[in-house]
């Protein structure tokens, strides 16, 4: 069993044991936020025909070659084509078609002019300037040409992707199944939210925080409750989670105390422990194991420690499991807005918020940085790294930070 390993090694181990889960076909109406399980190639042009971008007249540009205010050209209107209807007549020399926004360009026409740039009656239109061939025509395939790779496999389906799939007539779409992630809380001190607070007890907030983060990433949480600090009880709950979910996340019981029993429970189950403890702060009390082809990740019971590791390590591997092509946290450079007065003998991650000022990228610390300070995760969309062996950090210093917003 590896112990006290670097963050990157722990990430690599989790990714190596992560399996992308199965696929399913769903209705387009239900596809927002899901992950595409196939490449989408346009089987037709969008739009499928050349059309007018506004109300006006379609005609041959060559008919207006010598048009001017002093020498206007008069064309005979042979048809009116509203949006949603196809032209029935061909434009020939000396003729024009009255055309409305979105209507197909009639055969023979190669330009369109706005109503307000003409004078017209029910039967004739007068033009006062030359037009160019192709002017004011939205070409077929201007948005998406047939054969174009519209969306890559592993892309999260957003509102524009939904619209484009609808434009291609895709009533159903192949997506990856949503991962089911079991949440287990351990500790004799934990109470359910509905229970009255008793001396020495705390309410189980970690379960709700984890549910929120998982749901915001398109994951289906499976809450399997609280286990007391007995290895047999923890092992039974982990077995329950393995039967229901694709991965298990536990909080508490992963440190070095007499009542930190998750490691013993995993040994009782015959799970392979991949590593125990990582060399960062907060969140060093972390372990990972593997059983029945599924990952079991034990996080600290301290809320902030658990959520920092969730963001740095667990959510990226869940996104990979969900089939996302891009799953790692993006790195950026930030300028610290606040002093951080503590030394960092061990590599440390600060919770903060991205702020833009005068064209520069800053990070504002979002409250106390203690292991149990969950309130510092409110508004936190950055984790900034202080290298191990550093002293206090002053405002204005540059740090590498990870974007952690789902």
Average pLDDT of every residue of the chain: 95
Q: Which of 143, 48, 65, 166 is nearest to 105 (CA)?
A: 48
Judge if 36 and 171 occupy the same domain. Answer: yes
End of a domain among 261, 292, 321? 321
Judge if 96 and 153 occupy the same domain. Answer: no
Virtual torsion, Cα 119, 122, 123, 124, nearest 10 deg: 0
Question: What CATH number is associated with residue 367?
Answer: 2.40.340.10
Judge if 289 and 373 occupy the same domain. Answer: no
Strand partners, 350: 384
In whole angstroms, give the CA distance from residue 227 to residue 393: 40
pLDDT-derived band at 205, boundaries 50, 70, 90:
very high
**Domain span at 84:** 56-127
pLDDT computed for residue 405 by the predictor = 76
What would the pLDDT profile of 63-111 be if each residue is shown by its tens digit? 999 999 999 999 999 999 999 999 999 999 999 999 999 999 999 999 9
Q: How far is CA 147 from CA 300, 325, 371, in A?
A: 50, 21, 52
Judge if 171 and 183 occupy the same domain. Answer: no
pLDDT-derived band at 253, boundaries 50, 70, 90:
confident
pLDDT-derived band at 254, boundaries 50, 70, 90:
confident
Per-residue pLDDT, averaged over 129-149, amounts to: 93
Judge if 184 and 310 occupy the same domain. Answer: yes
In whole angstroms, give the CA distance from residue 100 to residue 58: 10
Judge if 235 and 302 occupy the same domain. Answer: yes
What would the pLDDT profile of 328-350 be if each residue is shown by its tens digit? 999 999 999 999 999 999 999 99
pLDDT computed for residue 256 by the predictor = 64
Judge if 41 and 162 occupy the same domain. Answer: yes
Residue 51 lies in a domain: no
Half-sphere exposure of 74 (CA within 13 A, CB side): 7
Judge if 75 and 42 occupy the same domain. Answer: no
Where would I find the H helices in 120-203? 159-167
Helix crossing, 262-269 with 231-244: angle to 10°?
60
Residue 187 lies in a domain: yes
- Edge-to-edge strand order for the sheet containing 220-227? 2-5, 272-278, 287-291, 294-299, 247-251, 180-186, 220-227
Virtual torsion, Cα 154, 156, 158, 162, nearest 10 deg: 40
In whole angstroms, give the CA distance from residue 184 to residue 186: 7
pLDDT computed for residue 406 by the predictor = 58
pLDDT computed for residue 258 by the predictor = 54
pLDDT computed for residue 1 by the predictor = 82
Q: What is the pTM of this model?
A: 0.86
Residue 304 lies in a domain: yes
Judge if 164 and 187 occupy the same domain. Answer: no
Residue 136 lies in a domain: no
Question: What CATH number is associated with residue 305?
Answer: 3.40.980.10
- Residue 138 dihedral angles phi and psi, to the nearest 5°: -85, 115
What would the pLDDT profile of 209-232 be if each residue is shown by its tens digit? 999 999 999 999 999 999 999 999
pLDDT score of 259 more than 80: no
Judge if 183 and 294 occupy the same domain. Answer: yes
Beta strand 294-299 with 287-291 is: antiparallel
Percent of the chain with pLDDT over 90: 91
End of a domain among 301, 321, 341? 321
Domain count, the chain: 4
Per-residue pLDDT, averaged over 148-162, amounts to: 95
């Amino acid at each position: 069993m590896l112990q006290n390993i670097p963050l990157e090694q722990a990430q690599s181990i989790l990714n190596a044991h992560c399996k992308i889960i199965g696929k399913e076909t769903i209705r387009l109406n239900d596809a927002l936020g899901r992950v595409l399980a196939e490449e989408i190639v346009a089987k037709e042009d969008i739009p499928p025909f050349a059309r007018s971008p506004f109300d006006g007249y379609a005609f041959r540009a060559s008919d207006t070659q010598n048009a001017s205010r002093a020498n206007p050209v008069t064309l005979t209107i042979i048809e009116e084509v509203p949006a949603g209807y196809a032209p029935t007549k061909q434009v020939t020399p000396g003729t024009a078609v009255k055309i409305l926004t979105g209507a197909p360009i009639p055969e023979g026409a190669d330009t369109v002019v706005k109503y307000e740039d003409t004078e017209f009656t029910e039967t004739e239109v007068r033009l006062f300037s030359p037009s160019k061939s192709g002017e004011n025509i939205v070409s077929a395939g201007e948005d998406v040409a047939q054969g174009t790779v519209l969306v890559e496999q592993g892309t999260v389906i957003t509102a524009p992707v939904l619209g484009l799939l609808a434009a291609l007539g895709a009533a159903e779409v192949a997506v990856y199944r949503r991962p089911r992630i079991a949440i287990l809380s351990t500790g004799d001190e934990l109470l359910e939210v509905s229970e009255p607070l008793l001396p020495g007890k705390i309410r189980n907030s970690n379960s709700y925080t984890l549910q929120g983060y998982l749901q915001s990433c398109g994951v289906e949480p499976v809450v399997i409750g609280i286990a007391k600090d007995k290895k047999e009880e923890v092992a039974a709950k982990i077995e329950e989670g393995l039967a229901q979910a694709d991965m298990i996340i536990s909080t508490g019981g992963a440190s070095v105390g007499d009542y930190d029993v998750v490691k013993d429970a995993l040994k009782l189950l015959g799970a392979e422990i991949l590593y125990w403890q990582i060399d960062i702060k907060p969140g060093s009390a972390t372990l990972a194991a593997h059983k029945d082809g599924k990952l079991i990740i034990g996080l600290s019971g301290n809320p902030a420690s658990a959520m920092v590791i969730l963001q740095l390590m667990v959510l990226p591997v869940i996104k990979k499991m969900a089939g996302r092509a891009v799953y790692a946290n993006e790195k950026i450079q930030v300028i610290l807005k606040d002093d951080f007065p503590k030394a960092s003998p061990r590599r440390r991650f600060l919770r903060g918020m991205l702020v833009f000022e005068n064209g520069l990228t800053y990070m504002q610390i979002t409250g106390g940085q203690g292991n149990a300070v969950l309130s510092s995760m409110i508004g936190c969309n950055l984790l900034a790294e202080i290298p191990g062996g550093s002293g206090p950090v002053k405002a204005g210093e540059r740090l590498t930070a990870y974007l952690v917003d789902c």
